[in-house]
Structure 1
């Protein structure tokens, strides 16, 4: 399969002028609606000159602003595409193009209507990018575009974010989250979990959370929060189920015991609630970092969770934080890693992370290597709205990949095995900060 790459330069080829069609005209073939709000990005990020909202492309006034809509086509053939659009004022001409064809569309003011862009030849399966750019306008705006209507032999064999039920436009533009679950014997009282992360060059995209040490009650990893800020993040969920931390009863609140230098601690909500800590830290791509997690009962129906970060540049362990979780009496369970994007504006940019050297250590100091993993995805991936996700093993490491509309994907629940190192980490627990 090939990925159709769109450039900002208008390519030579077929250029057709679309005709206005009657929205009430019956269609003779199956058709699907591709909402702009869940499947489109500005090619150059920004907030002025044109925006993507739930209702589609709006406030488009700047000719230098262009957009791209992604649809996965799973069958070759001919597609017929209409756009449901209008201009708030005057009239405008816009260009729709993919890697093979270009079509001009004349948009009028008034109520939104369907405009026919003609036939599009689909020569290969996979994701196709449709670029939307402005050519000319007689007034302030180019057009407001609500959705594409696609019909033809390939229309019923498509994948995209189909609706906004459950706020799916937001989740779909963020992209699919993917996980690696590390199985081990549940009878092992696992007090310690060690993992390593390497982010390849160019894969440290803004909005990425590369989570190294996930467990049943929380998670620990590194983030790219902006072009200027990166964090090491460690969070523990409360046993009280809510998205509002203010609703957590006092006897179920996560309690901070201690924290490292310059570490922020507080509460978090929206995706469960609990205690959160992070350290602003300029970690780098192409460097392998160590993550150490401890989870052990304290004998009073609480479990203490602690997280340390190892930077090879300093050869020192950094304490992030220790939290007490009430009404909990367990060692570490359900160990996993994940890759997610929390910034919808970068959901069209691919990223990858490498995990290696996974080990657990029990209460007696016995180490066990975790060299197997199971691949899973979140709801966006499971329902097939986004299929640009993958994972696997590469030599002595596992990897995860998501976003960017690449064509290959990994089936859910696929099992992987990496080459064992047979050498556990050399960590003197009693000397940790």
Structure 2
């Protein structure tokens, strides 16, 4: 059976719901053209790094329109409050509608990139989501963008990461894409929670050349190529050694 793309794989982090701030880190261990390494996905959007079809490296932060995701009237669409220098602002469609911000970002294999997402309930209707990132080239947090959307007061919940092959050219599934994620944590006022458990899931396609587990006490995801599912069964849970629950 032939497949057009490597299977998308995800980590769903065991964190409290509706928090003000989430941090996570990605360290790409193997990349290919047409790959999205999502670092902080949540119920209202996602942020991470990509390698485009031409090999160009990018950072991306997207927020969906209000829950219906059906391209609402302009007064109910995502609004961009801030965009950093060099950040391109646009709208997206297909899998729902919303606002998208992208910028060239020279991340490298083997080099950690940190993301921080902050949420502010503005008026009980709109929530502002702010994305920050840093690595060795940007030692201080860079404020990539802030976008507000209608949430009826919701903050950050449903936190996850994923690795996705969006090249889908019939050959890309033969290539390995992999990354380590951690340490994912959330903060709110004086409260700080480090994630010690994540669930491994995948999209509805059928290839079994996917895997997830722990390496250096960080969560990892692998998809494509000669990968074998030897560490964590699909829909299984991965627990760090320092989990005290």
TM over 0.5: yes
Cα offset, 1:419, TM superposition:
4.1
The count of aligned residue pairs is 241
Which position in structure 2 is the counterpart of 1:400? Answer: 221
The 8 Å contact of residues 240 and 248 in structure 1, kept in 2 or not, is answered as no
Hey, what does 1:357 align to over in structure 2? Answer: 183
State the alpha-carbon separation in 2 of the partners of residues 259 and 228 from structure 1: 24
Q: Unaligned regions of 5+ residues in structure 1, if any?
A: 1-33, 40-171, 422-433
Q: Which has the higher contact order (CA 8 A, sep 6+)?
A: 2
**Alpha-carbon displacement from aligned partner over 1:176-201 (angstroms, at most 9, x marks no partner):** 11110111233xx511100111112x
SS in 1 for 2:234: coil
CA contact (8 A) 2:33 2:55 kept: no
Q: Deviations over 1:390-412 (max 9, x none)?
A: 11112320000001143336422
> What SS does the corresponding residue of 2:59 show, helix, strand or coil?
strand
Render the CA deviation track for 1:111-130: whole Å, top value 9, x for unaligned: xxxxxxxxxxxxxxxxxxxx
Q: Who is 1:210 aligned against?
A: 37
Distance in 2 (CA, whole Å) between partners of 1:294 and 1:420 is 26
Q: What's 2:208 paired with? A: 387
Measured in 1, the distance between the counterparts of 2:190 and 2:135 equals 24
Q: Distance in 1 between matches of 2:19 and 2:69?
A: 28
Aligned-partner Cα distance in 1 for 2:16–2:86 = 37
Q: Within 1, Cα distance between the matches of 2:88 and 2:190?
A: 31
What does the per-residue CA deviation read over 1:229-265, in whole Å, with 9 as the maximum and x for residues that have no partner? 111010011125356xxx4222320000001100001
Distance 1:185 1:411 in 2: 24
**C-alpha distance in structure 1 between counterparts of 2:238 and 2:82, whole Å:** 37
CA distances 1:259-308 after superposition (whole Å, capped 9, x unpaired): 11000011001111111001111111111111000122112411111100
Cα distance, 1:328 vs structure 2: 3.1
Task: Tell me whether 1:417 sits opposite 2:243 in the alignment.
Answer: no
Q: Which runs of 5+ in 2 are unaligned?
A: none
- Structure 1 residue runs of 4 or more that deviate by more than 3 Å after TM superposition: 240-243
Q: Give me the whole-angstrom Cα distance separating, in 1, the residues matched to 2:210 and 2:134.
A: 29
Counterpart check, 1:325 vs 2:149: yes
- In structure 1, C-alpha distance between the alignment counterparts of 2:177 and 2:55, rounded to whole Å: 18
**TM-score normalised by L of structure 2:** 0.92
Q: How does 1:94-105 map to 2 (within 5 A)?
A: none
